[in-house]
Chains A and B, each alone.
Chain A
Amino acid sequence: MSQSNRIDGGLIDRSQTLSFTFNGKAMQGHPGDTLASALLANGQRLVGRSFKYHRPRGIFTAGSEEPNALVQLRKGAHQEPNTRATTVELFRGLEATSQNHRGSLNFDIMAANDLLAPWLSAGFYYKTFMWPKAFWEKVYEPFIRASAGLGALSKVEDPDTYDKGFLHCDLLVIGAGPAGLSAALAAGRSGARVILADEDFTPGGRLNAETLEVDGMAGSGWAAEAITELASMDNVRIMPRATVYGAYDHGIYGALERMTDHLANADGKPRQVLWRIYSKRALLTAGATERPIAFPMNDRPGVMLAGAVRAYANRFGVAPGKRVAVFTNNDDGWRTATDLAAKGVEITAVIDTRETDAQASIPRASIVMGGRVVDTAGRKGLTSITLANGQTIPTDCLAVSGGWSPNVHLTCHQRGRPGWREDIAAFVPSGDLPPGMSVAGAANGTLTLSAALNEGRAQANEAVKDLGFAASRKAPPKAEDEARETSAFWHVAEGKRRAWLDLQNDVTVKDVKQSHAEGFRSVEHLKRYTTLGMATDQGKTANIPALAIMAEQTGKTIPETGTTIFRPPYTPVPIGALAGRSRGKDFRPYRLTPSHKWAEENGATFVETGNWLRAQWFARPGEQGWRDSVDREVEMTRASVGICDVTTLGKIDIQGRDAAEFLNKIYANGFAKLPVGKVRYGLMLREDGICYDDGTTARLAENHFVMTTTTANAVLVFRRMEFARQCLWPNLDVHMISVTDGWAQYAVAGPNSRKLLAKIVDDFDISNDVFPFMGCAELTVCGGTPARLFRISFSGELAYEIAVPARYGRCDDPGADAGGRGIRRDPLWHRSAWRDADRKGPRGG
């Protein structure tokens, strides 16, 4: 198929042609296209099926608010469902497929749901899947699961990488439309550190979609020049393809930057980066979203938002239809008619709901003031519309404008509620903004160009002055204010057929009325009962018209009816990006003991203890299972000697004049009188008397102790001890530090343990008389290596624990290093001796 709908102009690079496929069909586009604009250029109007009724659907918008054109991208492990074709940047070799249909896109057997529509209205699930109870799991759940969801996951591990990053700035400007660019220029010129983030790949916002002029040049040209100037400033960071999705506490914003989604091959680079942006001030210049008018059968492919139709013509050089009609309740919709007519596209009709004068004369178009569209025709694409006056107009594209709603989302992420402005029939940010945030341009209800440019500059100057910078004196960019009169016309009452509000979740005007009739009148109830605004687009185009209809039903005003709460994220954030590098084995990295490598080579089976991997037993050839290994290790320890790496136990070094008094307070048993050179078992309790932790503490010197804790509790015990030191007994002279990683520690147990250790200690008498049970000492081993020796036993055997600085504890064979040749030795299975120890002595952990 050639690019049958391609027209002149636009910000695309026609010198290059990009081939791509949609449902296997080869198509062509150009750099600068989105998948949506390329599909339209190739005459592909039908791109998907709706969620519930499986109605044929086409591209509805030209931005991230898209409810209809959800497609699946790429193949195999890279497969990605539910992407909005309107935001996907075209690249060579892109493979896209439609989703949510059984059978082909053209013949979806699930479209039978559409015939059942009278029974599938709001609350269908709640009313239907109730009885009999026996059906819940066996019939209803499998059925609901089979129908749920849109696209399909690849079901293999995501091969892409995702990163996280942190940025700091004086002023974060969210959105690079006219207000945002004007603001970033002003702030950048003042010397403040500025971040300018925009979800689009070409900054400029609506300037790229309109034919408006700034400083005497095309708006898109002015935007490109502004970006060039900003790029030359070292204090400004421009982030295209970056959606600021959430406003968090204390000036922190979340942003998702798409790094390689627009490339055929990521080439090892991270696919997306999740940024945490710390800002002193933020300026929201996120623009506005056009909303539709609900009228009967308004969901056919070819029915689009008027501003989107204009964007496709002006920015992408695509006419979404050959014969375009406009249905509007405001002045802005007329510009779709004049812009497209100027490009030579046939305008068949302009229908304005207002009984006023025509805004423009369009050659050969029927102008119908006070008109209503009451029906449409065309199963898989619009062919004609019928008006309330009975006139039927053949058309393949109906551009609908119901006015513009400021993108107030981020202003409400901290429970702020928007206020209603009657003159533009829209919610605007109220005074209750997140601290540090201001709003300018269309996001603030300032919908006209000159005013938006000025407001962006003024707000930025105010913010930087607040931060101590001298505001730039450069004059604001010059432009005119376009006509933006609007009326509050929400839906066409005439006509009997279904009128859609939420296209993605198939919520119609009738559903909203039914919700009201059945008592679900709060907007929050309306939302949940009908699923209005609960699809991936979060009702960006649907919510306000639906609220207006709810208000009509209840007899309240729209501001009295209110909006549902806006929550992050503004647009979907992939789980992969939220996870970043913390996945697989990096989700919870293991800590390894100094003997880990040796243990691995010697057949150890490991167990996770806290974050540690600890050798549990060592299998030898011929052993039939863990019990054989454990029995051998126990026997070896009982008969000769066993060695066990106990490095994982927490170790806390405690020093200070009051160290003994401190230990006396935090242990349930007494420590004040523990002599130097002795170890004592200690028990810690919670404040309610329940056992918390235990271990041994050795007194190495008058004011120096070393405590051990259980492996898994080491961090918590240390935290609690710091709490006791700082908050409970702040005048004690005591200091401590965790030395768990600093020392490698081995238990050496069994009747031959003394004989083994005697071979490695330097000039130190470890006879029972000099170094008795519960003794401890600092000494050197193996010719000068510093070490600590504790005569403690958790096995009931003659036993020691010996600690050396961790870098000396890494050895291929602890026994061999210890010079223990000639003595039978075996690694001691950590638990096996203790299992056996009941009859001999104490147990421990």
Chain B
Amino acid sequence: MIINHPLLGPRDAAEFVHLGDASLIDRPNWQAEDAAAQFLDYAYMRDNPAGELRELWYHEQGDRSWLVVTRNTLTHEISSVELARDVALARGRDR
């Protein structure tokens, strides 16, 4: 596969490490009242869709960017690649 890195252009998937569902960005607030339940979901529960999936890839043999890659799990078509930091900021993650 080829991942079109937003900063570096097309790179072979072999340069990356795959982590999985990009929902890992949405780490729960540990001070929330139902933090235990939220962390159970966060740590263990994943969707496994046949189709489009937003997932995290780490450019370990490159610039060490974490990316959010939207990939169709049936065709491997990649429809978008974003810097995970931008996604995290857009989702309201702060410090």
Contacts and interface: CB of A to CB of B under 8 A. Distances in A.
A249 B76 CA distance: 7
B2 A722 contact: no
Contact of B75 (A414, A686, A687): A414
A269 interface: no
A435 B87 CA distance: 28
Interface string A398-432: 00000000000000001000000000000000000
Contacts of B27: 687, 728
Contact of A278 (B2, B58, B78): B2
Given A719-B58, A719-B60, A722-B66, A727 B24 contact: yes
Nearest to A719: B58
Interface string A532-565: 0000000000000000000000000000000000
Interface string A662-694: 000000000000000000000000111000000
Q: Which of B58, B83, B85, B95 is most buried by chain A, counting CB atoms within 10 A of its CB?
A: B95
A686 B43 CA distance: 9
B1 interface: yes
Interface in B52-78: 56, 58, 60, 64-66, 75-78
B76 A250 contact: yes
Contact of B77 (A435, A722, A730, A731): A435
A555 B78 CA distance: 42
B95 A731 contact: yes
A729 B93 contact: yes
Interface in A720-758: 722-723, 726-732
Given A249-B1, A250-B76, A726 B88 contact: yes
Contact of B2 (A252, A729, A731): A252
Contact of B66 (A686, A715, A727): A727
B2 A732 contact: no
Interface footprint category on A: 20 to 34
Nearest to B93: A730
A732 B95 contact: yes
A206 to B, nearest CB: 34
Given A435-B77, A658-B95, A719-B60, A727 B88 contact: yes
Contacts of A686: 43
B73 to A, nearest CB: 12
A661 interface: yes
Contacts of A729: 93-95
Q: Which of A658, A729, A732 is most buried by chain B, counting CB atoms within 10 A of its CB?
A: A729
A661 B95 contact: yes
Interface residues of B, number: 30
Nearest to B27: A728
A309 to B, nearest CB: 43
Contacts of B76: 249-250, 414
A361 B24 CA distance: 76
Given A661-B95, A728-B25, A723 B58 contact: yes
Given A250-B76, A435-B77, A727 B60 contact: no
A671 to B, nearest CB: 15
Interface string A448-460: 0000000000000
A731 B94 CA distance: 5
A428 B24 CA distance: 45
Interface in B1-54: 1-2, 17, 19, 24-25, 27, 39, 42-44
A394 B22 CA distance: 73
A278 B13 CA distance: 12
B89 A730 contact: yes
A251 B64 CA distance: 25
Contacts of A727: 24-25, 56, 66, 84-85, 87-88, 93
Given A249-B1, A252-B2, A723 B95 contact: no
Nearest to A435: B77
A291 B59 CA distance: 48
Q: Which of A249, A252, A658, A726 is most buried by chain B, counting CB atoms within 10 A of its CB?
A: A726
Contacts of B25: 727-728
Chain B interface main SS type: mixed
A506 B45 CA distance: 50
Given A661-B95, A726-B88, A729-B93, A250 B65 contact: no
Nearest to A251: B2
Contacts of A723: 19, 24, 56, 58, 66
Interface string A326-348: 00000000000000000000000
Q: Which of A719, A728, A731 is most buried by chain B, counting CB atoms within 10 A of its CB?
A: A728
A728 B39 contact: no
Given A249-B1, A726-B84, A731 B89 contact: yes
B85 A730 contact: yes
B31 to A, nearest CB: 13
A660 to B, nearest CB: 13
Interface in A643-662: 658, 661
A606 B65 CA distance: 35
A688 B19 CA distance: 17
Given A658-B95, A719-B17, A730 B2 contact: no
B87 to A, nearest CB: 8
Nearest to B87: A727
Q: Which of B2, B42, B66 is most buried by chain A, counting CB atoms within 10 A of its CB?
A: B66
Contacts of A719: 17, 58, 60
A248 B25 CA distance: 30
Nearest to A723: B66
Contacts of A658: 95
Interface in A270-289: 278
B60 to A, nearest CB: 7
B88 A730 contact: yes
A773 to B, nearest CB: 32
B43 A688 contact: yes
A552 to B, nearest CB: 34
Contacts of B42: 687
Contacts of B95: 658, 661, 729, 731-732
Nearest to A686: B43
A246 to B, nearest CB: 14
A99 B76 CA distance: 42
A719 B17 CA distance: 9
A170 B84 CA distance: 31
Contacts of B77: 435
B93 A687 contact: no
B54 to A, nearest CB: 12
Contacts of A250: 1-2, 76, 78
Contacts of B65: 726
A730 B66 CA distance: 11
A19 B55 CA distance: 60
A731 B86 CA distance: 10
Given A249-B1, A435-B77, A728 B66 contact: no
Interface string A249-279: 1111000000000000000000000000010
Contacts of B83: 726
B52 to A, nearest CB: 16
Contacts of A414: 75-76
B90 to A, nearest CB: 10
A732 B60 CA distance: 21
A687 B43 contact: yes
Contacts of B56: 723, 727
28 contacts: A248-B1, A250-B2, A250-B76, A250-B78, A414-B75, A414-B76, A658-B95, A687-B42, A687-B43, A715-B60, A719-B17, A723-B66, A726-B66, A726-B84, A727-B25, A727-B56, A727-B87, A727-B93, A728-B25, A728-B88, A729-B93, A729-B94, A730-B85, A730-B88, A730-B89, A730-B93, A731-B94, A732-B95
Given A249-B2, A727-B66, A727-B85, 14 more contacts: A248-B1, A250-B78, A414-B75, A688-B44, A719-B17, A723-B24, A723-B58, A723-B66, A726-B65, A726-B85, A727-B24, A727-B25, A727-B84, A727-B93
List the 7 shortest-distance A-B pairs measured between CB atoms, nearest first.
A250-B2, A249-B76, A726-B85, A249-B1, A730-B88, A687-B43, A726-B66
